Amino acid sequence: MKTEYVLDSSAWYEYLGGTLKGAKIRKIIEEQEVESSIIAIAELSDKCLREARPFEDYLKFIQQRAAILPLTLHIASESGKLKKERRTTKPTFSLADGIHLATAIERKAILVSADDDFEGLPNILLI
């Protein structure tokens, strides 16, 4: 089965935190094959540590449900271009955002995010 969804850290955070936004993607996470960039794991680790949340439990769940994708040279190269382009309309669009977007583009998948910096882009499921 082809993976249709790449989740960024904000999507995982909402889902694992049991929020209303997270509930919107329950079927995707529980019934579809999903992927995430290794950068999403790093971002989630950082956020969980800052907020005293159970990162190890989150990580175990993600590893059971998702393929963790490496940061490739192509994705790294494209992410800088995407960041520069997107910053013209979304000044808070980060390099990590560019990596998530480049990963989804490379995988020909829909990027799932709770981050408004992706608003208006094609192939984005904004929760």
- Taken in order of first residue, the domains within the chain and their CATH numbers are 5-126 (3.40.50.1010)
Instruction: Work out the burial of residue 42: count CB atoms within 10 Å of its CB; fewer than 13 is exposed, 13-18 middle, 19 or more buried.
Output: middle
Would you write out the chain's pLDDT as a tens digit for each of its 127 residues?
A: 567 999 999 999 999 999 999 999 999 999 999 999 999 999 999 999 999 999 999 999 999 999 999 999 999 999 999 999 999 999 999 999 999 999 999 999 999 999 999 999 999 999 9
